[in-house]
Amino acid sequence: MSYLAMNIDDMDWDTVFAENYNDPEFWVWIRSTDPLLTKYIDYVFRGPFYPMDPNNSIKDTDSYKLSQYNMVNNKKQRLIEMYAYIEPRKGARDAHVVVAGIQDVVNTLSKVKVTLDHIKQMIWFSNSHFSQSYHFNPLPWLKIVFCHSGNLPLEISGVPEGTILPVSIPIVTIKSTDEDCAHIVSHYEGLIQQGIWYPTTVATNALSFHSVMNKALKITATDEVRNKFLPFAMQDFGLRGCTCIQQAIIGGKAVLYIIMGSDTVPGVIAAMEDQEMTGYSVAACEHNQVTANGAEGEFEFVDDLLNLYPNGILSVVSDTFDMFNHTDRISSGHLRDRILARDGIFVTRPDSLGKKDNGDDMTPSETIIHIFTIFERNLRDYIKINEKGYKVLPDQYRVIYGDGLNIKKIEEIENELIANGWCASNIIFGVGGHLLQKINRDTERFAMKASQQKFRMADNTIETRNFSKETPGKESKKGTFHVCEIDGVIQCFNENDPKVEGIPNMLVRYFINGNICKDENFKDIRARVKHYRDQLNV
């Protein structure tokens, strides 16, 4: 039909799109007729106000991205394909990162369904939000609604989750699949990058903590003991330090790539598959139960707990009143006899710093050494020397410590324990805010950049541009990528580099046009983490 004969001043636009979206010539006409953008927007304004739907994914972006379609689609040129990547850049805190979050990102994107109402909501919003009208171009979104059933025309590939990847290697690539919708690669940068940088940084952070414990165990314990103890050498207590439950879900799940001890229930549930447990905890009291009994009733309360839990692991806070007195009482006399008779472990939890004779605070390492000194005095006859010559508390006693711990403090504690002849399997570390919260996108210098764009020029030729950013410290890559392992080192090459011919690309497809292409088992991700940890000796 001849679209030029249509009266665009008096038209039911939704009906026109619904009746003609299958005709390629219709989209040519829509793109080439300048007034159509403003006519459709005016048509929307003549209708009812559209309040924002919380499920409208178009809104999940930066404001300025709403205006960018018009910048790359004009009479001179039209953006028809964009290829971008996400990576931790050089200068990141760590030399390697643990890849995480890709599966959850594509699961989220697979549920996105753009609707006509969503488009109209954004037209109303943009008209009020910007200082000028007509910044938001509905054309690509109308194409998504009518030609893609609301699904996002994107292809997302990524390095398999659990891979321990050197920095400056692309973790994820995003490519457009519809020439009218190429700009949405950039539009969804915030949603996609947010879903990658945070869990990857948390998993990497957990590995950095855990590597300190692994190193100490290698020095002081046999491989058999280390392999059994290491998954539980650190416990995640990060929930209360998160900004919201959603953060605890994402971060708590990422931590479980590295460890198996967690009190962050939302994260544990998020990682579960087929009702198979992924994170473990123990019965534990805190200060409010101890203070309810008063200082005079503190040890009667411990007695009651031993009656309540005659076996299994029980954790009891020790610093409610006098931490060192508590340590002395549980390791001597009646309570020592009861604990040694248990079929299980009594974990004492000093939750603050000790005091020196002059009233000053001890350091964390001084506090822990003082506690172990008390244990050594009272439990001397029950302490064993292991195959590597280090002291091990009786099986019924262990310590958990978690007062504001960071990596440096844990290193200091482990080093002092080793210097004083104690095996690292005597202590578990509880980590919270430093694990899930005291990080940001710049911790591992995450960024998303476009590395290749294709334009259809006014004369209908196609021009491919592989420009990169040259700013020192923020340099970006060019072209499309092939990530592979050569001589034991994961590297990034241009996709057409002859060096990678015949070598599988580690960037595997996770998502295309609304469909999930890869769905990994949590066990497989953990196994991959272990493979790379063994390979890198971390």
pLDDT confidence of residue 469: 67
Closest CA to 507 of 185, 189, 170, 199: 170
Task: Tell me the C-alpha distance between 163 and 85, whole Å.
Answer: 17
Check whether 39 has a pLDDT greater than 80: yes
* Mean pLDDT computed over 497-524: 96
User: Could you read off the pLDDT of 176-203 as tens digits, one per residue?
Assistant: 999 999 999 999 999 999 999 999 999 9
pLDDT confidence of residue 33: 67
For the chain, give the mean pLDDT: 94
Task: Tell me the C-alpha distance between 511 and 509, whole Å.
Answer: 6
* Mean pLDDT computed over 274-280: 91
User: Could you read off the pLDDT of 60-95 as tens digits, one per residue?
Assistant: 999 999 999 989 998 899 999 999 999 999 999 999
Other Cβ atoms less than 10 A from the Cβ of 217: the count is 21
Check whether 7 has a pLDDT greater than 80: no
Check whether 4 has a pLDDT greater than 80: no
Query: Which two tokens mark 371?
Result: 């506690």
Task: Tell me the C-alpha distance between 203 and 525, whole Å.
Answer: 12
Task: Tell me the C-alpha distance between 206 and 443, whole Å.
Answer: 13
Q: How confident is the model at residue 49 (pLDDT cuts 50, 70, 90)?
A: confident
User: Could you read off the pLDDT of 103-144 as tens digits, one per residue?
Assistant: 999 999 999 999 999 999 999 999 889 977 778 999 999 999
Closest CA to 36 of 66, 58, 16, 52: 16
Check whether 332 has a pLDDT greater than 80: yes
Q: SS3 for 91-147, per residue?
A: CCCCCEEECCCHHHHHHHHHCCCCCHHHHHHHHHHHHHHCCCCCCCCCHHHHHHHHH
pLDDT confidence of residue 327: 98
Check whether 470 has a pLDDT greater than 90: no
Task: Tell me the C-alpha distance between 263 and 202, whole Å.
Answer: 16
* Mean pLDDT computed over 373-385: 98
Task: Tell me the C-alpha distance between 60 and 189, whole Å.
Answer: 9
Q: SS3 for 241-306, per residue?
A: HCCCHHHHHHHHHHHCCCCCEECCHHHHHHHCECCECCCECCEECCHHHHHCCCHHHHHHHHHHHH
pLDDT confidence of residue 196: 99
Residue bearing the bigger pLDDT, 464 or 30: 464
Domains of the chain, CATH where assigned: 1-67+115-150 (no CATH), 202-436 (3.20.20.70)
